[in-house]
Structure 1
């Protein structure tokens, strides 16, 4: 029995068992013990993921649960866990972000019960199982476990009607995506007689796909795109972030939504190698997602929704990179982005605890108190915003620079523009809230936009200042994002993980036992002078854009009126599409599934 045979099952079952222990013992154990046990479990998961990465650098590893290893040439009947550097790296990311969320909640949730810790651990187990699962149905099982726990976490503040509505919307839309994926899995099973990703891919490889195969693949990918919050399946994500507790947003934004991109890449590379139109369709979906997310990020005043739309925009960039030449770069970008975005969400949570609001206009100058803790929070927020723009040496900047080098030239403006615009929006909010830059905006009723005023605090009463753990968690996550950009080992492993994830042949060979498929060693993701210059320039552009927006309030209203008349109807139309009504979101989901299906099937089967 090798290392992977032990670690892979433990990575899935360990958090589940620990969650059960926490839920049972939480009735008697004091809160600090529960906090420490849950945090230790998250850290242990991250260590387990790091060991899995190390064990699979030379090749993918397969563990058949229960010893159901199929004889050579036989079809499998057991469940396989398949580990490669990408899967192991994502397990590390799940553990790190769960640890950050749990550390932040030590003094944030003054009256939280052990069920929160248990839910976070179960959520971590669901995400871990999803990335390690070697067959489609097991992926769906963990997709549903991840989803069921996420619905409960989104609606954790059950006494608030908005929380219940956001959790319900989240549940309905993602469950419908899961049902479509289940239908696709059923079609592929009928077509190939197998659920194993590798065996499905082996059956479909080398031949022109037929109608059932294309339909099955599209339905499965639509299910994963819903989880990724790609356009037009993205509506639920901002609503869920607006109502979910702040530590939960760290997991939603940092790793849960990106796992949808992972699922798309895994299935398309392994099980759909002969669908030529698929890559082009996914690139278009990614580019549209990036642009729309950036536009909607700019117009938000609710800070949690602003960060959520920034996540949607970056999901689009990850999808573009993973499917059009940026395989070696996007996982590094994801790791750097996750640390930065998690830190930003936790800092916004500190604002909610201190001032009872996440409204950018309402909080104008609120963070300018002179309190040392507020000064630290302000500095961390600004650094995180600059890192989001691509500031060296942070990992987000390194991944962005590598992505710009890898994707076709026509997509570079999308990568650069999305980074600049989203970072400028985040920085604008930070300068306005923490430093009072610019004139105080008008407080006007905006029925088309969620303001963030009157939010229920997630703490018991108002905190006089941020606690040590509330500042330590975002600081550590920012430090981790910097390590991603500085440590050469991460750049080498990230490039290898991305290339291996996109190599469906190596995955199939490992599972089928047909021998390793040797691939070229990719160039490590590392800083080069053009990337450093680009990172500095995009950061400077984000700063200039943020300041221009802030000082535009001093321009007389008559001079601003033509600009508002030109862009106002477009922005208003986009806001109205995000109605908050679950029926509208379901309609868009079905529309998107139909459009993607036609776009993939027409050139493939025509």
Structure 2
């Protein structure tokens, strides 16, 4: 926290015009740690999940980790695009890991095409920034734009920001760029889904936040990001409730939570960013645990359709507890990271006049948590819930919304081993306790992240800023009331 680090690749330092910095400020370092923890959990789970695993899987997972961490740390627009593309290529390969199945090929192609279009738009925006400033570094381009455009950006700078963010919005699965997500999650191996929903989506949000505050802060409005975030929060929550396929259900809940993360960024204040940091940490851990629990169900019963699984999860108490506690965390039960994120962001939103943020976040939390709670009731308690007890249509394609799932593992385990249960339990405990992280360091880190001058000083001059921001305070009456309302709903 007290010693951010900057490394210039190849020894080309600031002022050379070709230097590429990797900057580890507090929020970036924390996000990289979350990425590494989720990757470790996914690899540990896959140790017994895949009876015969090829070395290519481990290589792809580690390359995926490297690309994500490099994307978090890079201080260069073009290299952010390079690592963004490396991340997308590896994710495409992991999505189509079971390439012998037609549905897998369909989901992977959908993912690859949409991601490629977003990448081309991002590269176009980077070209506009380079044409205007002659710089590709985040810090140097930000200083040049601020000096050249004054208090407000012109049309070219605004267009550059929109184009760059479009690619990141595709990665964040924001409406209307969300169509690839559910298909990719339905066909990707379950350990891969942990990284997709747990961190890759959040990196799209991080890319927008880093680009805005390091380059375009106070030069372009964030209203459009707020509109897209609100649309994603509502649409994802509604679609989540309508799903019977558990992996698709969790994927749509990720769209909804990604929308809430985007709203935290679009609020444009350090306090809202601190709330977003809490929310991201809690969501990453909880969603990773829920996908691992879905993988345990798929291995045991060869299905993740709630209509097929009605009452068949009674002999899996740990997996059932994961779904129950995960649902409560998604609703914002204290002291989870999602509770802290909701509370801090709501307080910041009210300060800027966003009275509608609280009911929106409560509704999204209640719907997504209710959908996961319904899975627990139907699968692990045998409770009738709407149409979930009706038999799934026969002949449904693999990876679709219903019917038997093609197995991801050649051998069905008689009992779920501890190496598959422990990662979910550890992640769930982390998500449940994330709200207890001290608010002072998180608020300080958010203020450093949102200060363009502080970032430029760190990268270009090695100057470390030590702000004394008011600590983020999640335990407020309004925050507790919102959590209670979401849990009750």
Matched, 1:540 2:488: yes
Match of 1:30 in 2: none
Match of 2:312 in 1: 366
Match of 2:317 in 1: 375
CA deviation string 1:195-245 (max 9, x = no partner): 011111111115242332222221111111111111111111111111000
Match of 2:341 in 1: 399
CA deviation string 1:562-585 (max 9, x = no partner): xxxxxxxxxxxxxxxxxxxxxxxx
Matched, 1:270 2:193: no
Matched, 1:472 2:422: yes
**1:77-156 mapped onto 2 (5 Å cutoff):** 77-156=18-97
Instruction: Give the Å deviation of 1:274.
Output: 4.0
Matched, 1:509 2:457: yes
Match of 2:262 in 1: 319
Kindly indicate whether the alpha-carbon contact (under 8 Å) linking 1:399 and 1:525 is maintained by their aligned counterparts in 2. no
SS of match in other structure, 1:63: strand
Matched, 1:347 2:290: no
Kindly indicate whether the alpha-carbon contact (under 8 Å) linking 2:448 and 2:465 is maintained by their aligned counterparts in 1. no
Instruction: Give the Å deviation of 1:146.
Output: 0.7
Q: Judge which range, 502-511 or 90-99, deviates more.
A: 502-511
Match of 1:458 in 2: 408
**1:374-523 mapped onto 2 (5 Å cutoff):** 374-407=316-349, 408-438=354-384, 441-443=389-391, 445=393, 450-488=400-438, 491-513=439-461, 519-523=467-471
Matched, 1:281 2:224: yes
CA separation in 1, counterparts of 2:300 and 2:392? 23
**1:214-229 mapped onto 2 (5 Å cutoff):** 214-229=158-173
What TM-score do the two structures reach when normalised by structure 2?
A: 0.93
Instruction: Give the Å deviation of 1:418.
Output: 0.6
SS of match in other structure, 1:454: coil
Q: Structure 2: 5+ residue runs without aligned partners?
A: none
Q: Judge which range, 432-441 or 182-191, deviates more.
A: 432-441
CA separation in 2, counterparts of 1:509 and 1:54? 15
Instruction: Give the Å deviation of 1:82.
Output: 1.4
Q: Mark the CA change 1:445 to 1:453 in structure 2 (over 3 Å): closer, same or farther.
A: closer
CA deviation string 1:169-191 (max 9, x = no partner): 11111111111111111111111
Instruction: Give the Å deviation of 1:531.
Output: 2.7
CA separation in 1, counterparts of 2:105 and 2:444? 42
Instruction: Give the Å deviation of 1:514.
Output: 8.7
CA deviation string 1:324-363 (max 9, x = no partner): 1411100111101111111111111111101111111111
Say what the alpha-carbon RMSD is for the aligned residues. 2.0
Kindly indicate whether the alpha-carbon contact (under 8 Å) linking 2:392 and 2:402 is maintained by their aligned counterparts in 1. no
Kindly indicate whether the alpha-carbon contact (under 8 Å) linking 1:137 and 1:195 is maintained by their aligned counterparts in 2. yes
Q: Judge which range, 149-158 or 502-511, deviates more.
A: 502-511
Q: Mark the CA change 1:124 to 1:522 in structure 2 (over 3 Å): closer, same or farther.
A: farther
CA separation in 1, counterparts of 2:266 and 2:452? 13
Instruction: Give the structure with the larger helix fraction.
Output: 1
Kindly indicate whether the alpha-carbon contact (under 8 Å) linking 1:198 and 1:271 is maintained by their aligned counterparts in 2. yes
SS of match in other structure, 2:335: coil
CA separation in 2, counterparts of 1:180 and 1:534? 38
Instruction: Give the Å deviation of 1:473.
Output: 1.2
Kindly indicate whether the alpha-carbon contact (under 8 Å) linking 2:285 and 2:430 is maintained by their aligned counterparts in 1. yes
CA separation in 2, counterparts of 1:516 and 1:375? 49
Q: Mark the CA change 1:82 to 1:304 in structure 2 (over 3 Å): closer, same or farther.
A: same
